[in-house]
Amino acid sequence: AQSVTQPDIHITVSEGASLELRCNYSYGATPYLFWYVQSPGQGLQLLLKYFSGDTLVQGIKGFEAEFKRSQSSFNLRKPSVHWSDAAEYFCAVGADAGNMLTFGGGTRLMVKP
Amino acid sequence: DTAVSQTPKYLVTQMGNDKSIKCEQNLGHDTMYWYKQDSKKFLKIMFSYNNKELIINETVPNRFSPKSPDKAHLNLHINSLELGDSAVYFCASSQVRHEQFFGPGTRLTVL
């Protein structure tokens, strides 16, 4: 069975600083990997996805993520954080069976002015 | 237009009651899902439903039953509600092996 670990429960960064959110997965085959963002009281919005090909993927809102098979990681990055990026971020892996997603526990991002 | 919609947005009910949450998607997707998000924000898949094939997460109690009248709708019916069922329930849809689009969630509170 697949699993996803997000080691950082909370992260606080200053506005304008760079950001990296960590994600490690466990899956027997080539994974489908996703990052979603959830603002307070809202649903989940897809930031970016990796299915195959280029291991550096670009997403919306200036986010990118890099798939590293050797490290079983799919870390999310942003070069300069904006106050509006404060939210909960979820990494997820997709399984072939039923296409169901397994989510990590989430990382809450707080942005200092 | 809202891609994935859920009703109601909030649901407050007593223990032992039966309730339903409705989900509709207008994206033409083949597959729909229900997820549960607990108070610690942990998201867990409950069901996947594709062309009348239901895949159930075996940890889901059989008090929970998805019902799909057609490809655009997947409702969640819950019998004999318990305190531990309090959570936010998210519906989602996708084409197979593509990203999932989530609804806004239904916050269920069982008193």
Pick from A34, A97, A106: which is nearest to B55 by CB? Answer: A97
What is the model's pLDDT at position B99?
86
How far is it, in rounded angstroms, from Cα A32 to Cα A50? 6
> CA Rg, chain A, in Å?
13
> pLDDT tens, B38-57?
999 999 999 888 877 887 77
Can you say whether residue A106 is alpha, beta or left, with left for phi > 0 and alpha for psi between -120 and 50 degrees? left
Which residues does A contribute to its contact with B (CB < 8 Å)? 32, 34, 36, 38, 42-46, 49, 51, 88, 90, 94, 96-103, 105-106, 108
HSE (side-chain half, CA atoms, 13 Å) at B60: 20
B92-108 tens-digit pLDDT: 999 866 789 999 999 99
Work out the pLDDT band at A42, boundaries 50, 70, 90. confident
Query: For residue range A65-108, what is the model confidence (pLDDT) as tens digits?
Result: 999 999 999 999 999 999 999 999 999 998 765 578 899 999 99
